[in-house]
């Protein structure tokens, strides 16, 4: 992995900077427990599923091209309100749930992460050839991998800022907790074109599919909690982290 | 019910495709869907009956257990694979016209959306329920749906979407389908879709899971 931009945030004075990482699959560890959970299982997992998961994790390396990055925005460009955030004149309508979590921040990191398209192409191919279980497990492993990549990226933001006594919030994504997915258009407008190879469509779909976007609040007095699924109203979500 | 047909149903439910399959461990070295399907045909049971009275009841049980949250997607896929193995043996009877599907369903993910796993699962459950699926893929606009309905004389259309933005495209597509083919039944689904939304756009049915849509179609079309 490498940070292609070693510009740093200096002692509380803002420096806008862009950070981009190309990761090896071995940099990111798949949390199997989370994977089982995302497939629905709490305890007993059928053997073919376990075998397929192990097989998939083994051949995953050839199918992913992990890229992740974030941009730190200058504090004077960002204004936080309880239901929205202004960056310059652009308004991110986070709505109340996420707005409240970010309101004590001084500025934002805008982030994206992706696995590239090869994995989803392979999964599609497997499914169309009738290998439904294999295709489905590969898709689920991909989703878990991109989530773990985003955890890793969040840690990079945290480490970089902690050197300057700044803290971070949890990460929040458009499309969750009432924040409309269309606001990705604004998020992407602050990133270089095709940053990390991700294209945002008119319908606010990221291509490759296995991609995530969002923001992280930054400040001296903000809080990050371990898992925040409890704030989300989608209680039947298969990916709800039960701790 | 005939004992062989019951075995077919049971093996599908347990995901036992053929004798050599190691899964499930307690059925090791025992006959599976393939052997029982062959036995049924050898005993003069019609391919239609193998499908309707052997395979479909097995898949139906799986669908219900999935809807009740007792089993999960991978379990459904294991059962579907076992069924598929048996289907290979009765396929020729569909081609010759001796056995018939319940009808054709056009399935697609709507314009602007590229997610297809959910749609693929719906396709699989519908096939397991005796329907013939015409899968028109992802990013399908009204035109594509309409052509597929026309070319296949389909009675039912299923629309899928995974984002709220693309869910909104379901409205125009449903309206266009309905204006051209008022008799065609439109069912919709996908993570952001709700019953309220479904009613508001004039679709006939919303289901959070594929089995619900299958039950609805079987009931509505009295099959
Ligand atoms: C895994 C996941 C991801 C993964 C992978 C996504 C993928 N599909 O490959 C990752 C982490 C990459 C991801 C990213 C994002 N995600 Co996401 N993700 C999910 C999650 C947890 C599961 C999706 C899934 O794969 N389900 C498994 C499949 C099999 O289920 P399904 O497609 O829903 O299909 C089932 C049913 O819906 C039904 N069905 C489907 N179609 C049809 C059709 C008919 C006719 C019928 C009857 C039934 C039916 O049957 C299927 C079987 O039961 C859902 C939440 C959830 N629990 O559903 C959110 C969800 C889909 N994501 C969401 C969002 C917002 C995003 C992001 C925009 C977040 C962001 N800003 O980064 C991005 C977008 C990615 C992109 N490319 O644009 C939202 C979308 C709603 C919205 N607000 O627009 C959801 C619903 C979560 C939420 N907030 O409620 N996501």
* Range of the structural domain that residue A49 is part of: 2-231
The three-state secondary structure class of A45 is coil
* Residue A36 counted as domain residue: yes
Residue A13 has pLDDT above 70, yes or no: no
**Structure confidence by residue, pLDDT tens digits, A119-154:** 999 999 999 998 999 999 999 999 999 999 999 999
Residue A235 has what pLDDT? 63
**Is B193 within 8 Å of B206 (Cβ atoms)?**
yes
Where does chain A show beta strands of DSSP type E?
17-23, 66-72, 78-80, 85-87, 90-92, 107-114, 167-172, 199-200, 206-207, 211-219
DSSP letter (8 states) at residue A183: G
* Residue A197 counted as domain residue: yes
**Structure confidence by residue, pLDDT tens digits, B171-212:** 999 999 999 999 999 999 999 999 999 999 999 999 999 999
Would you place residue A6 in the very low, low, confident or very high pLDDT band (cuts 50, 70, 90)?
very low
**Total-model pTM:** 0.94
Give the integer Cα–Cα distance in Å for A80 and A102. Answer: 7
* Residue A240 counted as domain residue: no
Burial environment of residue B48 by CB neighbours within 10 A (0 to 12, 13 to 18, 19 or more) = middle
* Residue A241 counted as domain residue: no
**Structure confidence by residue, pLDDT tens digits, B146-161:** 999 999 999 999 999 9
Give the integer Cα–Cα distance in Å for A181 and A179. Answer: 6
**Is B43 within 8 Å of B116 (Cβ atoms)?**
no
Give the integer Cα–Cα distance in Å for A225 and B159. Answer: 38
Residue A165 has what pLDDT? 86
- Take residue A179 and report the two structure tokens written for it: 């924040």
Q: Is B181 in the A-facing interface, judged by CB distances under 8 Å? A: no
C-alpha angle B207-B74-A116 in degrees, rounded to nearest 5: 90
**Is A6 within 8 Å of A17 (Cβ atoms)?**
no
Would you place residue A4 in the very low, low, confident or very high pLDDT band (cuts 50, 70, 90)?
very low
In chain B, residues with a C-beta closer than 8 Å to the C-beta of A41 are 72
C-alpha angle A111-A113-A115 in degrees, rounded to nearest 5: 170
Nearest CA to ligand 1 atom 46: B189
The ligand 1 site (C-beta within 6 Å) comprises: A 139, 143, 146-147, 173-176, 181, 184, 205-206, 209-214, 234, 237-239; B 73, 115, 117-119, 121-122, 158-160, 162-164, 187-192, 207, 209-210, 213
Query: Which of A93, A119, A132, A183 is the best substitution to test chain B (most B C-beta atoms within 10 A)?
Result: A132
Where does chain B show beta strands of DSSP type E?
104-109, 132-135, 156-160, 185-189, 205-206
| Percent helix, percent strand, percent coil in chain B, to nearest 5 | 55, 10, 30
In chain B, residues with a C-beta closer than 8 Å to the C-beta of A133 are 74, 77-78, 81
Phi, psi of A29 (to 5 degrees): -100, 130
Q: For residue A108, give every residue at least 6 positions away whose Cβ sits within 8 Å of its Cβ, in sequence order, or none.
A: A72, A73, A78, A85, A87, A102, A215, A216, A217, A218
**Structure confidence by residue, pLDDT tens digits, A23-46:** 999 999 999 999 999 999 988 999
Residue A205 has what pLDDT? 98
* Residue A60 counted as domain residue: yes
User: Which of B15, B73, B116 faces A39 most closely, judged by CB atoms?
Assistant: B73
Give the integer Cα–Cα distance in Å for A205 and B42. Answer: 52
**Is A205 within 8 Å of B162 (Cβ atoms)?**
no
User: Which of A48, A124, A205 faces B112 most closely, judged by CB atoms?
Assistant: A205
**Cβ atoms < 10 Å from Cβ of B61:** 16
Contact A132 B164 (CB under 8 A): no
* Residue A75 counted as domain residue: yes
Give the integer Cα–Cα distance in Å for A225 and A64. Answer: 30
> Buried b vs exposed e over A68-79: b needs ≥16 C-beta within 10 Å?
bbbbbbebebbe
The three-state secondary structure class of A87 is strand
Terminal-residue alpha carbon distance, chain A:
30
Residue A10 has what pLDDT? 46
Number of domain units in chain A: 1
Contact B164 A175 (CB under 8 A): yes
Based on its alpha-carbon atoms, the radius of gyration of chain B, rounded to whole angstroms, reads 18
In chain B, residues with a C-beta closer than 8 Å to the C-beta of A201 are 112
H/E stretch holding A16: none
On the CB side of A44, how many CA atoms lie within 13 Å of its CA?
4
**Spans of chain B below 70 pLDDT:** 1, 222-223
Give the integer Cα–Cα distance in Å for B203 and B178. Answer: 9
Q: Is B81 in the A-facing interface, judged by CB distances under 8 Å? A: yes
**Structure confidence by residue, pLDDT tens digits, A50-109:** 999 999 999 999 999 999 999 999 998 999 999 999 999 999 999 999 999 999 999 999
Residue A163 has what pLDDT? 84
The arithmetic mean of pLDDT across residues A171-194, rounded, is: 97
Phi, psi of B158 (to 5 degrees): -120, 130
Residues 114-173 of B with CB under 8 A from A: 114-117, 120, 124, 163-166, 169
A145: CATH: 3.40.109.40
In chain B, residues with a C-beta closer than 8 Å to the C-beta of A137 are 74
In 3D, which of A75, A112, A82 has the Cα closest to residue A208?
Answer: A112
* Residue A150 counted as domain residue: yes
* Residue A236 counted as domain residue: no
| More confident position, A231 or A99 | A99
């Amino acid at each position: 992995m490498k940070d292609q931009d070693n510009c740093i945030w200096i002692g509380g004075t803002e420096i806008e900077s862009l950070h981009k990482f190309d990761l090896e699959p071995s940099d990111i560890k798949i949390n199997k427990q989370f994977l089982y959970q995302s497939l629905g299982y709490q305890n007993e997992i059928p053997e073919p599923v376990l075998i397929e998961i192990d097989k998939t994790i083994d051949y995953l390396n050839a199918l992913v091209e992990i890229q992740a990055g974030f941009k730190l925005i200058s504090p004077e460009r960002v204004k936080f309100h309880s239901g929205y955030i202004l960056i310059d004149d652009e308004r991110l309508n986070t709505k109340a749930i996420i707005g409240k979590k970010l309101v004590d921040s001084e500025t934002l990191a805008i982030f994206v992460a992706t696995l590239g398209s090869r994995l989803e192409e392979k999964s599609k191919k497997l499914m169309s050839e009738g290998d439904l279980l294999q295709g489905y497990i590969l898709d689920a492993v991909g989703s878990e991998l991109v989530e773990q990549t985003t955890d890793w990226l969040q840690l990079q933001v945290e480490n970089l800022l902690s050197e300057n006594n700044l803290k971070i919030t949890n990460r929040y994504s458009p499309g969750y907790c009432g924040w409309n997915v269309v606001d990705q258009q604004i998020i992407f407008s602050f990133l270089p074109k095709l940053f990390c190879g991700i294209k945002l469509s008119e319908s606010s779909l990221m291509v490759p599919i296995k991609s995530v976007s969002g923001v992280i609040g930054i400040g001296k007095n903000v809080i990050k909690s371990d898992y925040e699924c409890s704030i989300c109203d989608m209680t039947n979500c298969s990916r709800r982290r039960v701790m | 019910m005939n004992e062989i047909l019951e075995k077919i149903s049971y093996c599908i439910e347990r995901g036992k495709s053929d004798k050599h399959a190691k899964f499930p461990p307690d059925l090791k070295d025992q006959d599976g869907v393939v052997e029982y399907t062959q036995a049924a045909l050898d005993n003069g049971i019609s391919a239609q009956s193998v499908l309707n009275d052997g395979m479909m009841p097995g898949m139906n049980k799986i669908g219900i257990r999935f809807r009740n949250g007792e089993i999960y997607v991978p379990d459904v896929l294991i059962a579907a694979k076992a069924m598929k193995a048996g289907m290979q043996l009765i396929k020729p009877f569909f081609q010759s016209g001796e056995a018939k599907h319940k009808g054709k369903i056009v399935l697609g993910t709507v314009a602007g959306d590229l997610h297809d796993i959910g749609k693929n699962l719906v396709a699989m459950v519908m096939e397991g329920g005796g329907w013939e699926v015409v899968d028109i893929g992802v990013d399908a606009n009204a035109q594509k749906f309409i052509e597929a309905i026309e070319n296949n004389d389909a009675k039912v259309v299923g629309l899928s979407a995974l984002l709220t933005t693309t869910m909104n495209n379901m409205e125009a597509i449903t309206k266009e389908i309905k204006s051209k083919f008022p008799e065609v039944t439109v069912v919709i689904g996908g993570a952001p879709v709700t019953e309220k939304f479904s009613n508001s756009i004039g679709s006939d049915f919303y289901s959070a899971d594929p089995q619900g849509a299958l039950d609805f179609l079987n009931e509505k079309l009295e099959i």
